[in-house]
Chain A
Amino acid sequence: MSDTAERPTSNTPHYVNAAPWDPYVSEKLTAEQEKYYMAGQWKLMWWRFRRHRPAVVSAAFLALMYFSCLISEWIAPYDLQTRHIKSIFAPPQAVHLFHEGRFLGPFVYAQKMTRDMDTLQRVYTEDLGNPQPLRFFCRGESYQFWGVIPGSFHLVCPAEDGTFFLLGTDRLGRDMFSRIVYAARISLTIGVIGITLSFTLALILGGLAGYYGGWVDMIVQRLTEILKSFPHLPLWLALSAALPVTWSPLLVYFGITLILALLDWPSLGRAVRSKLLSLREEDYAMAAQMMGAKPGRIIGRHLLPGFMSHLIASATLSIPSMILAETALSFLGLGLRPPITSWGVLLNEATDINVVAVNWWLMLPVVPVILVILAYQFMGDGMRDAADPYA
């Protein structure tokens, strides 16, 4: 460098901006975009799930149902086993608001039973002169809350020395509505517990098969093939017929759940296996192996999270079939036994065509079955769509 060039003589102030240069200055992210790009995987999934209307409604519905299981004792006006000898096979009592043109609040008319002397059937008629206002947030039949805490609080009770059979009564005069409410506890949990078991089985067996390959894979593959190729219902029947009669109903409940899970895991296990087969070839799995991570850690910590969302979605989609299976087994009399009551056990009373013809309300437990299954189906669909938020 020579000094021939003229140095600037004037003292123009040289301005330097101290702030760091922002390379994205031309394409500024809006706050919304920023939020989107910074969001984690699960957050993205939640956003995506939220867009799926039926799924959200279904999820809310299911949440409500499961919540009702927590407070069945409050919701049901009667106990599971309370018998009303004077109202056997009573039809549902309609809730009215106006009595002779006068607003009375929600009430039911008392039922009068007479016998049809030709058919010997009980005939119930509404006694229009005798309205019985319902009581709300009231003290009614006493119960053991969750079998432990004694109490008598109900959300709805019949009038003093009146009756309130929203959905009629069964052959022993037990209130159907209360029974359906209590049965929800069993029917709803059996699906969830069953799927948890089958999920665990699928993770372990599918994980082993997919990660190790070789003869482990071979055995698990054959096992899934056999289990998948065999019709489930006869096998379920055989297995539940094998549960000893001497078992307590609670043990039978867990036995049935286990049986449902035993036949359910293959399809999930297959999904786990095929995903693991492809993922274990990824560089990061290799890296983990090089660093000395044990197989359990590699599978659980590095590989599984990559497709956990898919698994959960497909597991959700197989809950309905479990609930249906339990219903079918109990309906055939090989499932749960009273006093454990599920919707299937209730439907067991509706085996006869005469029931359909005369006491149609005994079939009402099927309504919650259908609703819950549809809700799970829609929610599962929504979850499956949301499971891959980057797609």
Chain B
Amino acid sequence: MLNYVIRRLLIMVPTLFVISLLVYVIIDLPPGDCVTSQIDELLSRGDPDALRRADELRHLYGLDQDLLIRYFRWIGGVFRWDFGLSCQDTVPVRDLIGERLALTMVMESCTILFIWTVSFIIGVYAATHQYQLGDYVASFIGFIGLAVPNFLLALVLLYVGKVYFGLSIGGLMDPEFIDKPFSWGKFWSVAQHLVIPVIVIGTSGTAGMIRRLRANLLDELQKQYVVTGRAKGLPPLKLLIKYPLRHAINPFVADIGHLLPEVISGSVIVSVVLSLPTTGPMLLGALKTQDVNLAATFLLFVAVLTVIGMLVSDLLLAALDPRIRFGATSEK
């Protein structure tokens, strides 16, 4: 087991390295840099020292250096919790991302919890009530979650929530709490604002989960040991929870690996639509203006989160399933 953990941890390092390098290079790829647009603006205003300022700024941001040198400087800084300067207002990236990252993580963990609870309940219900009304309703919800684009759902729910329920949305808390220290009032406000994004981001993941759990559980329910148990007179609920569910739950845990990237992708687009103060809108802005340090830092964090999530899911799976714990990990 320990060996397994260590091996997984060792694989993480090159993975993260490759991702960060790739991301850094890709963002820097298009012609021009983040200074270009600022200078263009100055030039159009007829500022005479625009060009001189451009050189100054480029020097400040280190843009006059080679791409690889910049990359290694940035990645070296990361270990000292220093992510370089953001191009926007010449502020350190560190100051920009702190709260956003925290809120993003809160939102994403809530979403995953939501997906788990909802799909667990609906999935088990649908499997035990196969071909009944509830089953069809569950499948229907599943398909809707699969087919309706996230951002549209977000818009519509935003509208419905605003008009019919008076939920104040947009943002992640009421304006009076912004930049205030933690308090229960703030907590409650954040919780209220989280409802819609969590539902919206959660639907697509929930759809897949329900389908898989239902299929797995149905497979198990047809097996002979279940029939035997029923014949021996085990109470139905005990029979369900104690045996087939334990088998069917396995993919549930294994799926965090797929779920996490999906949730992160979803949260980016949804938070752009709902203008949440999470990483999404800022990432989009940074990508559009080629703010390499800022965008690369966000993406690196996303990668770290994902890789850690994968690790946790693999470890949970290994703890749950002896077949994985004792070898047989190389294939598959």
Contact = CB atoms under 8 A, between A and B. Distances in A.
A209 interface: no
Contacts of A374: 143, 146-147
Interface in B175-199: none
Contacts of B151: 328, 331, 347
B70 to A, nearest CB: 16
Nearest to A355: B155
Nearest to B155: A356
Interface stretch (B59-67, B71-79, B229-237, B257-265): B257-265
A353 interface: yes
Interface in A221-271: 222, 225-226, 228-235, 237-239, 241-246
B273 interface: yes
B30 A242 contact: yes
Contacts of A156: none
B149 A331 contact: yes
Contacts of B283: 234, 237
Contacts of B152: 347, 350, 363, 366
A162 to B, nearest CB: 32
A243 B31 CA distance: 9
Interface in B129-157: 143, 146-152, 155-156
A366 B26 contact: no
Contact of A332 (B146, B260, B269): B269
A334 B286 CA distance: 12
A347 B295 CA distance: 26
Given A225-B15, A328-B150, A244 B30 contact: yes
Interface string A354-391: 00110000010010011001100100000000000000
Interface string B257-284: 1001110111011001100000000011
Contacts of B158: 353, 356
A42 B313 CA distance: 40
Nearest to A356: B159
Query: Chain A, interface size: which category?
Result: 35 or more
Nearest to B163: A357
A370 B140 CA distance: 13
B306 A334 contact: no
A152 interface: no
B28 to A, nearest CB: 8
B249 interface: no
A234 B265 contact: yes
A280 B15 CA distance: 30
Contacts of B30: 241-245
B149 A242 contact: no
B288 interface: yes
6 contacts: A230-B19, A243-B30, A328-B151, A350-B152, A351-B273, A377-B147
Interface of A: 222, 225-226, 228-235, 237-239, 241-246, 320, 324, 327-328, 331-334, 347, 350-351, 353, 356-357, 363, 366, 369-370, 373-374, 377
